[in-house]
Structure 1
Amino acid sequence: MKLIGNIRSQLELWENRKEGIPFEEVYRFLHSLKGTARTIGLIDLGNVTENLYEQLEKEQQQVWDWAEIHTFFHEIITLSKDKSVEKATILIVDADAALLVSLKDFLEAREFHVLVSTELEKAMDTFYNVKPDCIIIDDTLKDEQGLHLLHHLKASGQQVLSPVLLISANDNRENRLAAYRAGADDFISKPLDLEEVFVRVTRQVERKKQYDELLLVDELTQAYNRKFFQSAYSRMLSNLARTKESFSVGIIDLDNFKSVNDTYGHLVGDIVLKGLAGFMKKHMRAGDVFARYGGEEFAVMLPRTSVEQAEKLMVRLLEGFKKQPFMTDIKPFTCSFSGGVVEIINENTTLDQIMECADKALYDSKKNGKGKISVYSFDQKLNRQKIKVAVVDDDSVVRMMLSEIIRKIEVPPNKELDIQVFEDGQSFLQSEWIQTKDQFVIILDGMMPKMDGLEVLQKLRNDKRDDLYKVMMLTSRKSERDIQKALLLGADDYVTKPFKLLEVEARIQHLLKRVM
């Protein structure tokens, strides 16, 4: 979210500033934050900001240092941690659209992000694109058995680490045994007790998190290990092959680490390793990967990041880490690291090849004085991929508001958004703008003159280019039947009116990620 990013950026600027921070600057920042937080639905943040604003008006201090800023803004710092990245993602696959709606709403009210599908093929596509933390499958999907989804996943050769809960109206012994033999982790009989579903889903998600930590996390530093990094790299290559979206990989190495061990001992050396991992995990972006690659060498993976952006990010992290003191019985000291970054633009590049390139850049950093970040560049450049976003709604205010939200969404440097608005479904379908092979995200109002949203959705799903469209329906809270029909027709998501800006922004971002 842009506001959260602005808060973090401002606090980071203050933290790195050497001179004092004028009162007027603090006052302007808090005044702006107070006016925005509640407007976009951040009620808790708005309340905290209001209280701080009242305190600030009584302050007479003209110059602040970082320690005072950090203490004063402590509650805002806590609240501005992006909770959305911590939400577990649940995929529900069921032919019963009414059940999908009720289960989706129930779980999302309890801090899960929920994706739904009524079809096996669409569920498979979502699984590979999103890698959900838990899958809930009905054992009957139209003409297919829900167990087939598990068989498809196993046949693909891909290890299925996401736990699977099978739900069924048939609770006999043979059906339960068949579910477990097919790979289900749990079995729940209908009619569903929603509280029980929530408890059992939460249990599976927490267990998956524990397994991930045991299998894929370095014991000393709690950073990811090489095995996880290799798996993450394979996923990023698959994404690159599908979307042509480049990413960057870096390798960093602690400077003079042998000297640290020789001077202070290996226990202090371990503290430095843990300190570096903790600093990087705290200050890297959501979605970035940090892993211990061996000894004092660590690897980073930066999705949707050009090599120029990667260099700036790594330099900022380096400068921040150099200020971290390590305390010993002898004297406090600081450390630095050297690094090399490289952009991956070819899906046929192996991890060994890319790490060799990054290592060459790392060597340049070491050779040129250490405490530096160097770049290994390829001459080849990727063309920017166009993603078309349509807002189809007969309400001009809604069209304007949604367009503004979309324009503020940040996209990778090799992507660009082409946003168009339409006041009815007929003008949208007849426009030349959609007669291309680009990827589309379509926000579609359910009730419109000339042609309603459901009719437009049906025509899109009957189009031979159906796989290019991700569709989010805007519906009334009273139109549960329309929601069910939209899901059966192939809507990828829906939002009920009146909606919260934060909710719409988050859902549009999720749809954009699925076409990038």
Structure 2
Amino acid sequence: MSVSSEGCAVLDKYKTKLIATILNQIDQWEVQASDIPHEEVYRFVHSIKGTARTVGLDELGDLTEALYEKINVVEKSTWQLGECQSFLQEVIVYCKKVGAHTEQTKDQPRIVIADRDPALLVEFKEYLERKAFHVLVSTDVEKTIDTFYDVKPDCLIMDAGLKDEKGLPLLGRLQASGQQMLTPVMVIGDNPSRESRLDAYRAGADDFMSKPLDLEEFEVRVSRQVGRKKQYDDLLLMDELTKAYNRKYFQSFFAKQQSILTGVKEPFSVGVIDLDYFKQVNDTYGHVVGDEVLKQLASYMKQNMRSGDVFARYGGDEFAMLLPNIAIEQAKKLVERLLNGFMKLNFQADQVSFTCSFSGGVVQVTEGGLALERVMERADKALYGAKKKGKARVEVYEGGQEVVTQKVKVAIVDDDEIVRMMLSEVIGKLSLPANRIIEIETFPDGKSFLQSEWLLSQDRYVVILDGMMPKMDGLEVLQRLRSERRHDQFRVMMLTSRKSERDIQKALQLGADDYVTKPFKLLEVEARLQHLIKRGM
């Protein structure tokens, strides 16, 4: 029995990649919803036939060998989607079965064990795999390092005496690279002495066990390290509410795709989606229901996106998607398919059923080294176009098109001069996309604000409105704004020192988009204004 990880980890990786490539191609044909050129189907079958057995998928090789014999005598220029799916049915069923098994294995904790003794590796592997771990083993330092970076294990277990050809310990090699990715390390050694344990801990080990191992204790201690790693990952990489990836993970995955793009020139697409009328959901049904909508959106997207796609919560009700190996038009069709499916979901609140939609913008990344901020700005621009055209749709960023500048008028209505000055300074320093400019105007009371000619333009407005002012109460100003025929032009943030929940409820009922209670923190106001200006326009 071979215990080298090279024949296991590397082949497993390429098996997974081949299965994902096949299913992604089937998905793309479905998204295109048009006739498929015969040459494209022929190359697809030929490619699988040539690769399947190489990576150890012999059954898939047999299936595609038979299909290849059939397609060689087919005389047609195009295939309809249905007949293509029927022709490839056995391949599709096989790939989904293997893919489901791969997903199950992927969910198991991944353990890499490196030891000089093959017999011990067999024993450790078999025992841990009976305990539902996915275990890769190696007796070689270089292969262990390659496996470590390919697999990104949940725990690394290594023999204290395992060294490379230069006599450098494995743990020292990994530490020198500075890329341990928060993976816990357990050292197992022949010498149970205090000095051996201290040496291991000084070198960076998280745990130490001496041989011969008590296998039950071994499994318990490995499980403890794996559980701690999962907590770290959830804290650092996952959004707590939706269980989608968070912005930090999206940024790191984007950087990885950029490096792939630089090396092999495979473009990818990025999408941004934003729930339509989400504020109305919160106002009508409450934030608990709103949170449930966000969670259901994330769950639906993760279940229906392609294998290998990344879905992340970017902030609030805005989510980002990274779609590897897909051109812009196909990416648009993919997101449109996701939108159409999401709109069919029913949500329940107080025995009332309702549906939701989202708007989306997609952009293709073909330039190596392009900053994520620039890509997101382009996707945001396409998203804004979708919102402007009526929502519940997906738009594509058209590279090279002229940037349309949008003015956002911000009114600060407060009888406190210092508050007006502070807020003016904060707003003046806001970081906004290049296609938006801010014009600020201040007013000492509600009456002068409502009578100002400054309100007569067709621009969008963000109004920061004090709740208590002379001449006209802030709630009355809000009510007047919402009674206007052009009330959709205004986004209103209330500033209030009132502690009465009743007044806050009334402001929200009258249509306030947000409120802040005095004394407020400037950073909090800044963040909320940035959101209002960016997403509300």
Alignment TM class, shorter chain as reference: 0.5 to 0.7
Query: Residue 138 of structure 2 is aligned with which of 90, 93, 117?
Result: 117
Verify the 8 A CA contact 2:141 2:164 in the aligned structure 1: no
Alignment correspondent of 1:272: 293
Verify the 8 A CA contact 1:341 1:358 in the aligned structure 2: yes
Query: Residue 218 of structure 1 is aligned with which of 212, 219, 239?
Result: 239
CA distance in 2: counterparts of 1:226 and 1:220, whole angstroms: 13
Alignment correspondent of 2:385: 364
Verify the 8 A CA contact 2:246 2:312 in the aligned structure 1: yes
Using the aligned pairs only, state the percent identity.
58
Query: Counterparts of 1:262-301 in structure 2 under 5 Å?
Result: 262-301=283-322
Amino acid aligned to 1:336 = S
Q: Once the 2 structures are TM-superposed, how far is the Cα of residue 254 of structure 1 from its aligned partner? A: 0.5
Q: Once the 2 structures are TM-superposed, how far is the Cα of residue 154 of structure 1 from its aligned partner? A: 3.7
- The yes-or-no answer on 1:352 pairing with 2:373 is yes
Amino acid aligned to 2:378 = C
Alignment correspondent of 1:337: 358
- The alpha-carbon distance between structure 1 residues 139 and 247, as it changes in their structure 2 partners (threshold 3 A), is farther
Q: Once the 2 structures are TM-superposed, how far is the Cα of residue 158 of structure 1 from its aligned partner? A: 3.3
CA distance in 1: counterparts of 2:168 and 2:283, whole angstroms: 58
Q: Once the 2 structures are TM-superposed, how far is the Cα of residue 299 of structure 1 from its aligned partner? A: 1.2
Which one has more relative contact order, counting CA pairs under 8 Å at least 6 apart?
1
- The alpha-carbon distance between structure 1 residues 105 and 318, as it changes in their structure 2 partners (threshold 3 A), is same
Q: Once the 2 structures are TM-superposed, how far is the Cα of residue 252 of structure 1 from its aligned partner? A: 0.8
Q: Deviations over 1:264-321 (max 9, x none)?
A: 3333322322221222233334443222111110112234444444333322221111
- The yes-or-no answer on 1:176 pairing with 2:162 is no
Amino acid aligned to 1:253 = D
Amino acid aligned to 1:120 = V
Aligned to 2:280, what secondary structure does the other structure show?
helix
Structure 2: state its 5+ residue gaps. Answer: 1-15, 31-57, 61-95, 401-537
Structure 1: state its 5+ residue gaps. Answer: 14-38, 42-75, 380-516
- The alpha-carbon distance between structure 1 residues 191 and 346, as it changes in their structure 2 partners (threshold 3 A), is farther
Alignment correspondent of 1:131: 152
- The alpha-carbon distance between structure 1 residues 346 and 182, as it changes in their structure 2 partners (threshold 3 A), is farther
- The alpha-carbon distance between structure 1 residues 271 and 187, as it changes in their structure 2 partners (threshold 3 A), is same
Q: Deviations over 1:213-271 (max 9, x none)?
A: 13332233232221222223233334444554443322111112223233333333223
- The alpha-carbon distance between structure 1 residues 302 and 136, as it changes in their structure 2 partners (threshold 3 A), is farther
- The alpha-carbon distance between structure 1 residues 236 and 126, as it changes in their structure 2 partners (threshold 3 A), is farther
Verify the 8 A CA contact 1:139 1:145 in the aligned structure 2: no
- The alpha-carbon distance between structure 1 residues 310 and 270, as it changes in their structure 2 partners (threshold 3 A), is same
Q: Deviations over 1:386-419 (max 9, x none)?
A: xxxxxxxxxxxxxxxxxxxxxxxxxxxxxxxxxx
Query: Counterparts of 1:189-338 in structure 2 under 5 Å?
Result: 189-329=210-350, 331-338=352-359
Verify the 8 A CA contact 1:85 1:286 in the aligned structure 2: no
Verify the 8 A CA contact 1:276 1:321 in the aligned structure 2: yes
- The alpha-carbon distance between structure 1 residues 141 and 330, as it changes in their structure 2 partners (threshold 3 A), is closer
Amino acid aligned to 1:315 = E
Amino acid aligned to 2:209 = I
Amino acid aligned to 2:270 = V
Amino acid aligned to 2:112 = L
Alignment correspondent of 2:162: 141
Verify the 8 A CA contact 1:139 1:146 in the aligned structure 2: no
Amino acid aligned to 2:297 = L
CA distance in 2: counterparts of 1:177 and 1:105, whole angstroms: 30
- The alpha-carbon distance between structure 1 residues 143 and 86, as it changes in their structure 2 partners (threshold 3 A), is closer
- The alpha-carbon distance between structure 1 residues 143 and 40, as it changes in their structure 2 partners (threshold 3 A), is closer
Q: Deviations over 1:91-147 (max 9, x none)?
A: 222333343344334434544333333333333333233322211111122456998
Verify the 8 A CA contact 2:234 2:240 in the aligned structure 1: no
Aligned to 1:137, what secondary structure does the other structure show?
strand
Alignment correspondent of 2:206: 185
Question: Root-mean-square deviation (CA), in Å?
Answer: 3.6
TM-score (norm 1): 0.53
CA distance in 2: counterparts of 1:124 and 1:338, whole angstroms: 44
CA distance in 1: counterparts of 2:265 and 2:150, whole angstroms: 14
Alignment correspondent of 1:165: 186
Stretch deviating more after TM superposition (159-168 or 309-318): 309-318
Verify the 8 A CA contact 2:142 2:164 in the aligned structure 1: no
CA distance in 2: counterparts of 1:331 and 1:337, whole angstroms: 20
- The alpha-carbon distance between structure 1 residues 304 and 204, as it changes in their structure 2 partners (threshold 3 A), is farther
- The alpha-carbon distance between structure 1 residues 341 and 96, as it changes in their structure 2 partners (threshold 3 A), is farther
Verify the 8 A CA contact 1:229 1:291 in the aligned structure 2: yes
Aligned to 1:332, what secondary structure does the other structure show?
strand
Alignment correspondent of 2:468: none
Q: Once the 2 structures are TM-superposed, how far is the Cα of residue 355 of structure 1 from its aligned partner? A: 1.3
Please identify the structure whose Cα radius of gyration is greater.
2
Amino acid aligned to 2:219 = F
- The alpha-carbon distance between structure 1 residues 265 and 316, as it changes in their structure 2 partners (threshold 3 A), is same
Aligned to 1:366, what secondary structure does the other structure show?
helix
Verify the 8 A CA contact 1:154 1:160 in the aligned structure 2: no
- The alpha-carbon distance between structure 1 residues 92 and 247, as it changes in their structure 2 partners (threshold 3 A), is farther
